[in-house]
């Protein structure tokens, strides 16, 4: 599985990077596995845990909450291909293959319109984006 990160300031994500940690913490703190420098993300916002083939996510007491497909994460939840995560104003997309984004517009609602899929290893990867605070 892979994650692709989108922020309001940087709608185009960086290249995915492989993650080897079975407990993967996302937040603003320097010791996080994925550091997101966005003011709406808590220092230690959420954690993705890998157990055999499954990935789960749980909130770590963040200020703005962690949302999975629009629903507040109140306990550990299973992640699946196509899931959408929201951490403050940062959005993450869960997918099974690394893909190359095709950009179709400019503006606040700019989204990835299509992906050209490429084969990928069966491991978790993350695209990290440094966002400039407002």
For residue range 93-119, what is the model confidence (pLDDT) as tens digits?
Answer: 877 765 555 444 454 444 433 333 433
Compare 59 and 94 and report the one with higher pLDDT. Answer: 59
Compare 17 and 40 and report the one with higher pLDDT. Answer: 40
**Whose CA is closest to 94, among 109, 83, 102, 104?**
83
Residue 123 has pLDDT above 70, yes or no: no
CB 133 within 8 A of CB 9: no
Tokens coding 46:
């959420």
Would you state the pLDDT for residue 9?
A: 73
Q: Average the pLDDT over 50-62 and give the result.
A: 91
Q: Average the pLDDT over 78-92 and give the result.
A: 91
pLDDT digits (tens, 9 = 90+) for 26-39: 999 999 888 888 99
Q: What is the mean pLDDT of the chain?
A: 74
CB 58 within 8 A of CB 75: yes
Would you state the pLDDT for residue 94?
A: 78
- Name the DSSP letter for residue 111: -
């Amino acid at each position: 599985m892979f994650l692709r990160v989108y922020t309001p300031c940087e709608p185009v994500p960086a290249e995915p990077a492989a993650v080897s940690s079975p407990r993967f913490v996302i937040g603003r703190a320097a010791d996080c596995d994925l550091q997101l420098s966005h003011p709406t993300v808590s220092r230690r916002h959420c954690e993705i845990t890998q157990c055999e083939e499954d990935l789960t996510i749980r909130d770590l007491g963040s200020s703005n909450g962690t949302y999975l497909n629009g629903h507040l994460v109140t306990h550990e939840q299973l992640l699946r291909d196509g899931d959408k995560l929201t951490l403050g104003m940062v959005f993450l997309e869960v997918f099974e293959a690394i893909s190359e984004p095709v950009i179709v517009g400019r503006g606040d609602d700019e989204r990835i319109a299509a992906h050209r899929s490429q084969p990928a290893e069966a491991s978790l990867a993350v695209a990290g984006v440094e966002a400039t605070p407002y």
